[in-house]
Chains A and B, each alone.
Chain A
Amino acid sequence: EPEVTQTPSHQVTQMGQEVILRCVPISNHLYFYWYRQILGQKVEFLVSFYNNEISEKSEIFDDQFSVERPDGSNFTLKIRSTKLEDSAMYFCASRGVNTEAFFGQGTRLTVV
């Protein structure tokens, strides 16, 4: 069964450093998403991506965040200068036109 793959599963980084979280969506899907879940809280939408551009973004997705689909398969989330409050589980998801969203296993980001 096709699945969304995220790497790494856990990333520890120093405050102020840049991080790139990677995702390989399901190959024939058209819509791509990043969500964030701070420990013990609900899952929050960050950004959606369609047709090689951002479709929508939330208030959380400020200038420190960017997304790319550099090679037609990978979908990356970059945090330019990490803050302590960026520590969270980051989920990538993808979906086709008439399918539900499939989530990756998540990347746990710890900023120290």
Chain B
Amino acid sequence: AQTVTQSQPEMSVQEAETVTLSCTYDTSESDYYLFWYKQPPSRQMILVIRQEAYKQQNATENRFSVNFQKAAKSFSLKISDSQLGDAAMYFCAYRSANDGANNLFFGTGTRLTVIP
């Protein structure tokens, strides 16, 4: 079974600074997707960024970028120019790319605090 590990239960960053959240995963599959979801206090799950395993280029969405290291099974999220609204729980997630429903496997989350 796939497992996703987030080793940082909590992180903090000064407003306007950069922070990196870590994620590692374990799988025997070669094709899959990786995601970062944001969960603000409202508890809604919001997709931040997505990475296809077959793509070598790291995904970027505005201030959010990932460092995808397939051989190391590592998928970290970098938030640049942190804003107060970035404060939330961040979950790393894995999904197989095989045919089928393929549910998401989530890590335990990292709570990010942004210090004004």
Contact = CB atoms under 8 A, between A and B. Distances in A.
Given A31-B101, A55-B101, A105 B91 contact: no
Interface string B31-57: 001010100001111110010000000
Nearest to B50: A100
B44 A106 contact: yes
Given A100-B33, A100-B47, A106-B43, A42 B104 contact: no
Nearest to B4: A42
Contacts of A108: 43
Interface of A: 31, 33, 35, 37, 41-45, 48-50, 55-56, 89, 91, 93, 100-106, 108
Given A55-B101, A102-B47, A108-B43, 10 more contacts: A33-B101, A35-B103, A42-B91, A43-B45, A43-B93, A49-B101, A56-B101, A89-B43, A100-B50, A103-B37
Interface of B: 33, 35, 37, 42-47, 50, 91, 93, 95, 100-109
27 contacts: A31-B101, A33-B101, A33-B104, A37-B43, A42-B91, A42-B107, A42-B109, A43-B45, A43-B93, A43-B106, A45-B105, A49-B101, A50-B100, A50-B101, A55-B100, A56-B100, A56-B103, A93-B45, A100-B35, A100-B50, A101-B47, A102-B47, A103-B37, A103-B46, A104-B44, A105-B43, A106-B44
